Amino acid sequence: MAKEIMTTNRAVAEAVKLAKPQVVPVYPITPQTTISEYLAQFVADGDLDAEYIRVESEHSAISATLGASEAGVRVFTATSSQGLMLMHEILFAAAGMRAPIVMADANRAISAPLNIWNDQQDSIAQRDAGWIQLYVENAQEGFDTILQAYRIAEHEEVMLPVMVCLDGFILTHTVEPVDLLEQAEVDTFLEPYVPKFAYLDPERPMSLGNFADPTYYTEARHDMQVAMDKSMEVIKEVGAEFGEKFGREYGLTESYLCDDAEIILVCMGSMASTVRHVVDQLRAKGEKVGLLKIRSYRPFPFEEIDEITKNAEKLAVLDKNFSFGIGGALFADLKAKCHKETYGFILGLGGRDVIPEYIEEAVELTKNPVKEVTWLGLKEDE
């Protein structure tokens, strides 16, 4: 199919239509709103045969999504920022009940101060919920990743929900060319969902979302860790199969000019495009820098990161989030799990543009470090 021009929100909605979920409970919130609108339109026009539930809040959206998933059908929902915060309680329940939900999160800053623009604090704050988190760089990745997310979530050795994270406005409202797939093509990659384990069926009565006393709770949580570990292989397998079928391959990470790089810039989401541009410019000046884009933040692919960064001297980690007292979440994870001299940089909070100058500054401050964590572009008192 020829490329079409669309936003990442539209690309996500088109992918959801092709994945054919049967229940779609969504509550609109900026900058996710157009996903909910496109899906409502698809259902109204008969292009998507799904129950579209107009819920009264995000807590209800994820609750209805979980309920529908436990009834044994493929589901989809989407949210952003404060909406994801309101879902917090049910996010843990969805993962613990091993519901293969796919949700899009339009990454947006968290209040206060109130801000509708992009950073990644919302999904980072949910990192321990037990969801797989995949961050996309552009509209094409958004489209492709939604389709892969169902394969990953529904894999019988995974059975964990997947959150597809797309940077608010930078992706959600920016039009780009996207190579859409035909339904017949998608059907060869993504088959209808057939529930196997925990789901409601009158022929086989079952109690779900149960109480577990100290005898069972630890094992239930450990099972989730085992599934999360297993999901690393599955993400790679599914990404490779997608590549074979459609020509665009995906993995846990994506590296660019890392083999001989002395400094590797590590980041997630749309920032990677800007960093790639800066890497090209610095390479032209003879500087040995590379880019490592983390696509899968949970599970965290530290062994793969160790391998890719083995020749590098230092890592410069760019975070659009902050954990008070520590630094960026990605920085903290790399410090904990990888064995490199690592510096963290906080930038792009609340929609402030990530400009090439900040990334050049990050490289300079990694060459000649002043402190471990630096806030880039921080204004002095005026």
Partner 1 sequence: MVSIGCAISEPGSTRKNKTGSWRTFKPILDKNACVDCNNCLMFCPEGCVNKDHDIDYDYCKGCGICKEECPVQAIKMEIE
Residues in touch with partner 1 (CB under 8 A): 96-99, 159, 197-198, 204-210, 212-213, 215-216, 219-220, 223
Round to whole Å and give the CA distance between 92 and 87.
9
Would you say 45 or 203 has its CB closer to partner 1? 203
Q: Which residues pair with 316 in a beta bridge?
A: 265, 343
Which residues does 143 contact at the CB level (< 8 Å), separation at least 6? 11, 12, 14, 15, 178, 179, 180
Minimum distance, C-beta of residue 132 to partner 1, in the bound complex (Å)? 16
Considering the complex, what minimum distance in angstroms separates the CB of residue 102 from partner 1? 17
Torsion of CA 14, 19, 21, 27, to 10 degrees: -30
Q: Which residues contact 297 (CB under 8 A, 6 or more apart)?
A: 124, 127, 133, 134, 135, 165, 268, 330
- Smallest distance from partner 1 to CB 252, Å: 24
Min separation Cβ 41 and partner 1, Å = 34
- For residue 224, the minimal CB distance to partner 1 (Å) is 9
Cβ contact 128:166 at 8 Å: no
Judged by beta carbon, residue 114 or residue 220, the one nearer partner 1 is: 220
Residue 159 CB, nearest distance to partner 1 (Å)? Answer: 6
Which of residues 46 and 205 has its CB atom nearest to partner 1 in the complex? 205
Extract the tokens encoding 126: 């949910």
Burial class from Cβ neighbours inside 10 Å (0-12, 13-18, 19+) for residue 349 reads buried
Q: Are 77 and 99 in contact (CB under 8 A)?
A: no
Shortest Cβ 152–partner 1 spacing (Å): 16
111: DSSP letter: S
User: CB-wise, 204 or 285, nearer to partner 1?
Assistant: 204
Of 26 and 228, nearer to partner 1 (C-beta) is 228
- Measured CA angle at 93 (ends 171, 164), to 5 deg: 15
Q: How far apart are CA 80 and CA 32, in angstroms?
A: 6
Compare residues 57 and 210 and give the one whose CB is closer to partner 1: 210
Residue closer to partner 1 (CB basis): 124 or 160:
160
